[in-house]
Chains A and B, each alone.
Chain A
């Protein structure tokens, strides 16, 4: 069965510090997809990135970067020079290609609440 673990429940950093959010996943599929979403207090889950299991290239988008390592089943997310606007709950999620019947569901971690203090 698929599982996503975000061991860090809450993290507080001072503005401009770098912060890394950890994500470890479990799956028996060889084809799967990993996601990160951001959830501000309004409730909406904002899509940040999608990675497939065959693409282990690290990705950088502005102050955000992602490190995908299949050897350790991890997909970590780093925010460089954090800002107050980065304060939110961040979720890592997994979708397996073999979810069944061509359907599609995400398995989420419990989330990491990031507080950036000015």
Chain B
């Protein structure tokens, strides 16, 4: 079956702009989470959504937001982009929420802020 799908795969934005990234989870998966990966900080948890509700949020400023739709698709948005937001953004899905579930990741969206 299809894996986690993320769009766009690559994008370049200018400082101050905003960006929206999309994620389609594995069919039947209701939990979607987002992670940011940078060379300096590694992989860091952004937030998790389950049944259209944000269940948990990592230590990121309010410029980072997300949402989940009734079909479990998710989007994340970063406003007022900064150079430090350049990163690989990974979306992941699992059947349910809670640590007993295995999380499956997509290929990510590579964001470059210039």
Contact string against B for A residues 38-52, beta-carbon threshold 8 Å, 1 for contact and 0 otherwise: 000011111100101
Q: Is the interface of A mostly helix, strand, loop or mixed?
A: loop
Question: A33 to B105, Cβ gap below 8 A?
Answer: no
Are B102's CB and A96's CB within 8 A?
A: no
- Distance of A88 Cα from B8 Cα, bound (Å): 23
Which residue in A31, A97, A103, A107 is a CB contact (below 8 Å) of B48? A103
Cβ B108 vs Cβ A105 within 8 A: no
Bound-state Cα–Cα, A30 to B97, Å: 19
Bound-complex Cα distance A43 to B110 (A): 9
A106 within 8 A of B: yes
CA–CA, A98 to B104, complex, Å? 21
Q: Which residues of B contact A105 (CB under 8 A)?
A: 33, 45, 48, 56, 58
Closest to A45 in B: B105
A37, A45, A107 — which one has the most chain B CB atoms within 10 A of its CB?
A: A45
Cβ-closest chain A residue relative to B31: A104
* Interface residue count on the B side (C-beta < 8 Å): 29
Find out whether the CB atom of A104 lies under 8 angstroms from the CB atom of B88.
no
Count of chain A to chain B residue pairs whose CB atoms are closer than 8 Å in the complex: 76
Interface size class of chain A, counting residues whose CB lies under 8 Å from the partner chain: 20 to 34
Q: Which residues of B contact A118 (CB under 8 A)?
A: none
Judging by beta carbons under 8 Å apart, are A47 and B55 in contact? no
Interface code A89-116, partner B: CB below 8 Å = 1, 0 otherwise?
0010101110111111111111100000
- The distance in angstroms between the C-alpha atoms of A111 and B41, with both chains bound, is 11
**Contact yes or no, A99 B105, CB < 8 A:** no
CA–CA, A59 and B64, complex, Å: 39
A64 within 8 A of B: no
B88's partner among A43, A106, A108 (CB-CB below 8 A) is A43
CB distance from B70 to the nearest CB of A (A): 20
Contact indicator B42/A110 (Cβ below 8 Å): yes
**Contact present for A43 and B103 (CB under 8 Å):** no
